[in-house]
Amino acid sequence: MKLFQNKMLQSLPSGVYRMSLFWFIVFSAHLVLASSLVEFQDNDNPRQKQEGMQLNLYHVKGLDSSQTSTSPFSFSDMITKDEERVRFLHSRLTNKESVRNSATTDKLRGGPSLVSTTPLKSGLSIGSGNYYVKIGLGTPAKYFSMIVDTGSSLSWLQCQPCVIYCHVQVDPIFTPSTSKTYKALPCSSSQCSSLKSSTLNAPGCSNATGACVYKASYGDTSFSIGYLSQDVLTLTPSEAPSSGFVYGCGQDNQGLFGRSSGIIGLANDKISMLGQLSKKYGNAFSYCLPSSFSAPNSSSLSGFLSIGASSLASSPYKFTPLVKNQKIPSLYFLDLTTITVAGKPLGVSASSYNVPTIIDSGTVITRLPVAVYNALKKSFVLIMSKKYAQAPGFSILDTCFKGSVKEMSTVPEIQIIFRGGAGLELKAHNSLVEIEKGTTCLAIAASSNPISIIGNYQQQTFKVAYDVANFKIGFAPGGCQ
């Protein structure tokens, strides 16, 4: 896949080049976009359910290997990306925003009974430790692999002509001129005015066209800058399209996005995909993340993302209240109360759990306060070391053993319990990860900051329901079928 850059900016000195990224887009003339895309043919077989349409989702190591990467995505890469994500979330909590730097500014950023469900896939095939869906955009619809992010408000994807830079992606890059319904939103639009509260970054305005310019960033190294746009959104080929979907059409997209086309924002914000579709489907969504690695049965190889209030009734969820956080109201906070190992609570005080706890689809490895993690490690090692020899740690994972997950029959169950008793009962495939052949580690780490994050590795094969309208989250075990 070709990388696209603007030749004029390439000729600038590196320092001037980086400082000019944002303002080049703001003051550049509107370019005529004339490239064409090859339309994605969706091969997933839909299955009908009472509440709507549900499509199969396959992990890259399972049934759907059509997008397997040509270059390896290592566990080390995943850890590096994960650490960036955690630092970003903590910076949001402490209000350490870098909005002054245009190249690396921070971004985060019931109803009807209808529901729409779409395939949700592991991102390992596209160079990410997260999960992606195929969504359609434009008229006629073109389909793109988009990372699902409950911590992001604004959705965006890479767009031609990639004025500054587009990373390699598995799908053809979207060309707005091929869509009969595409339009760039003006600076005077209400959607442009709302960007500051949704992304923490003030929008820019193109002097040449009057188009609204967004800035979305995810830490010190990842960002997207481009035109705020509007077009028709198609979740599945069988679903009626949704007109007027607001998203970012990225012209400079750099950082930790793997080979995805962009981000689908599912944060609790009016500009997120959830917020925009809430009137049509209801202010709720649910998902089941397929297992990234070995799991006890084949059902863990497929997952789903459902948008709509009626998806909450499809499983016997046990709910816990969401916790309001005034600093970041768009994120999903929970009240973590207890962790047990083999049925026994950790020997820590209740106050040890009393830190902000975020459930996040964009973080892979769960982070716990140091005191809680140390107690968990002690209890876990006490049981595991009776049968398995300990091994050297790997990066942030310092509780490791010799052997593979498949061979480990004596693995104590870890329970992560939230207020009201809802929680996650972690079996071996949720608590252990084989980082290399013959070395397996506990897939939980100590947090270097006063924050807890429930990562997507621990959420795998659980159905997780976000009843945003009633401000609660539910969990249901049993796989993704």
Contacts of 160 (CB under 8 A, 6+ apart): 4, 33, 35, 173, 174, 175, 176
3-class SS letters over 162-178: CCCEECCCCCCCECHHH
Please report the DSSP string for 283-335 in residue order.
S-EEEEPPPSS--SSGGGG--EEEESGGGGGSS--EEEE-B--SS-TTS-EE-
Supply 249's token pair: 């059409």
Q: Which residues are catalytic?
A: 149, 360
CA distance 423 to 445: 18
Nearest CA among 366, 344, 349, 348 for reference residue 357? 366
Beta-bridge mates of residue 135: 144
Supply 372's token pair: 């809680």
Cα 393-434-287 angle, rounded to 5 deg: 115
Pairing type for strands 390-391 and 400-402 reads antiparallel
Q: Is 7 helix (H, G, I), strand (E, B) or coil?
A: helix
CA distance 311 to 476: 13
Distances (CA, A) of 319 to 155, 231, 234, 243, 263: 27, 35, 30, 33, 27
Beta-bridge mates of residue 285: 307, 466
CA distance 452 to 358: 6
Query: Strands (DSSP E) along 15-115, which ranges?
Result: 46-49, 52-55
Cβ atoms 233, 242 nearer than 8 A: yes
CA distance 19 to 5: 16
CA distance 336 to 320: 10
Beta-bridge mates of residue 246: 230
Identity of the residue numbered 25: I
